[in-house]
Chain A
Amino acid sequence: MRQPDDDDRRAPRSRVEHLIDAERDEEDAPSRAVGRLRRLCRAVVRALPARGAGVSVVSLVDGSADDWLTAASAGVGAEALEELQFTSGEGPCWEALATNRPVQEPDLSGSGSHRWPAYGPSAVERGAGAVFAFPLRVGSIGLGALDVYRAEPGLLSADAFDLALTFADVALELLLDGQASADDGGPPVMVHALSYRVEVYQAQGMLMVDLRVDAHTAMLRIRAHAFVTGRPVLDVARDIVAGRLRFEKD
């Protein structure tokens, strides 16, 4: 449930919608919702301002991340920073989801690296000085987060924070937006993100056979390899599917 103080602080919806409207529309967006979500990320970058922003959806198995989809992102290195939260299993989005409250880490190289020994230093390497996560929850269901990155350390100003809260509201609605391609049976934003990621699940299936492990463990192995090599999960998965990378049973 929303906390009363968050409600009082939210920036007006109309202001955020105007900010998104002001971003250029893409002609090749796969659906209206995806297109608008991309514009939302760009609007966050421009308005807060920020170096990068991303909207990601997680699925959790037994409280631990089983998969991760970045539905949209904007800004230099934002997509990689989003992915880093998944591969490392650390970062503000997890905390934001668990507590249903925004999380601010103004100093990634200092306190952030103590807080997140795997995520922190890697995020700094990728140009992030501060990071903020706004949870996207629907009742009891934690869907994901709106993540915002800055190069310079520091907290968000009150106005920027309030803006971000409303951006998160809009992002959640777009994620759940039902207008869609009839065949896919899921909100278009998610279906689209998933369709770019099929090799990850195929690789998961392959590891399940190679290593005789369950789906969750297979994903952990892929994630760990991605983290250690600093490569995106999708790249690692493509190598597995193409036979360029093989995991041995321990």
Chain B
Amino acid sequence: MRVVVATATRGNELTVIPAEELAHVFVEVADTLVDDFDVVDFLQTVTIRTAQLSGMTSAGLLLADGRGELRFMAASDESARLLELFQVQAQDGPCLDCYRTTEAVVNADLAAAGAQWPRFAPAAVDAGFASVHAFPLRHRSHTIGALNLFDTAPRRLQDDEARIVQALADVATIGLLQERSLRDAEVLAEQLQGALTSRVAIEQAKGMLARIHDTDVDSAFELLRRYARREGLRLSQVAADVVARPDSHPGLTGRT
């Protein structure tokens, strides 16, 4: 059974998107967010599926970097990729407008857009595209990029089609933001464990050297420090070496 959820118009044709297919795409996108998240793979999937679902020729995606500059991230094909790169380079085009205003740019007339996008419009036409739309990647007060749709025919998007594309963009945005904050926290947690490890190794090395040289831990620490300085090595590195392989610094441990 097919339930009509949305229609995509291509010229005079009506294309029906089955509910299951739409649901499948959302699940597919959400799935990539869970295990072994690969940002590039994820964004590639988003562009390809968005193009397919909307019935448009191509899609591209730009993300803002740490300084708020848009950077190319993914595209569903080569022409879209080149055009997105051009948008970034020329600092001109619907994605940039969309990112700056945080509003979708839909159904703009490319042929007549020479004034609006003096560099992008001619380049898009040269690349064989006749229509272009841009949707913001935004979640609450964060706008992190933009999703571009291109078509070789002068395609207009209906309201419900635009809503579906925005919904896909929203899912992608939530996934990206979640992945980022998780990654930041993981990096912090890793740094925490790393910092602990090197401090612990130094104390362990002090204990080892105290026994080997039959002295106290403070004298052992002096031996460790002098050795590291003499050899031009980092203290924590020598300590880690000695703990992992007791014969790694025979000049210090007296072992071969």
Chain B contacts with A in 184-211, Cβ cutoff 8 A = 185-186, 188-193, 195-197, 199-200, 203-211
State the CA gap A141–B206 with chains docked (Å).
29
Closest to A240 in B: B207
Question: B39 near A: Cβ within 8 Å?
Answer: no
- Interface majority SS (helix, strand, loop, mixed), chain B: helix
Closest to B217 in A: A202
What's the minimum C-beta distance from A78 to chain B, rounded to whole angstroms?
A: 22
Known: A67-B200, A194-B199, A215-B204. A138 touches B210 (CB 8 A): no
| B196 engages A186 (CB within 8 Å) | yes
| B207 engages A203 (CB within 8 Å) | yes
| B186 engages A139 (CB within 8 Å) | yes
State the CA gap A201–B202 with chains docked (Å).
9
Tally A residues with Cβ within 8 Å of B. Answer: 32
Report, as a range, how many residues of chain B touch the other chain: 20 to 34
Collect the chain B residues with CB atoms within 8 Å of residue A203's CB.
207
State the CA gap A210–B207 with chains docked (Å).
11
- Interface majority SS (helix, strand, loop, mixed), chain A: helix
Task: List 10 A-B pairs, Cβ < 8 Å.
Answer: A143-B189, A185-B195, A186-B191, A187-B192, A201-B207, A205-B207, A206-B211, A208-B246, A215-B243, A241-B207
The chain A residues found within 8 Å of chain B, CB to CB, are 1, 59, 67, 138-141, 143, 175-176, 178, 184-187, 190-191, 194, 198, 200-210, 215, 241
Given A67-B200, A205-B206, 13 further pairs, Cβ under 8 A: A138-B182, A143-B192, A176-B185, A187-B188, A187-B192, A203-B207, A204-B204, A205-B204, A205-B209, A209-B208, A209-B212, A209-B246, A241-B217
The chain B residues found within 8 Å of chain A, CB to CB, are 34, 182-183, 185-186, 188-193, 195-197, 199-200, 203-212, 217, 243, 246
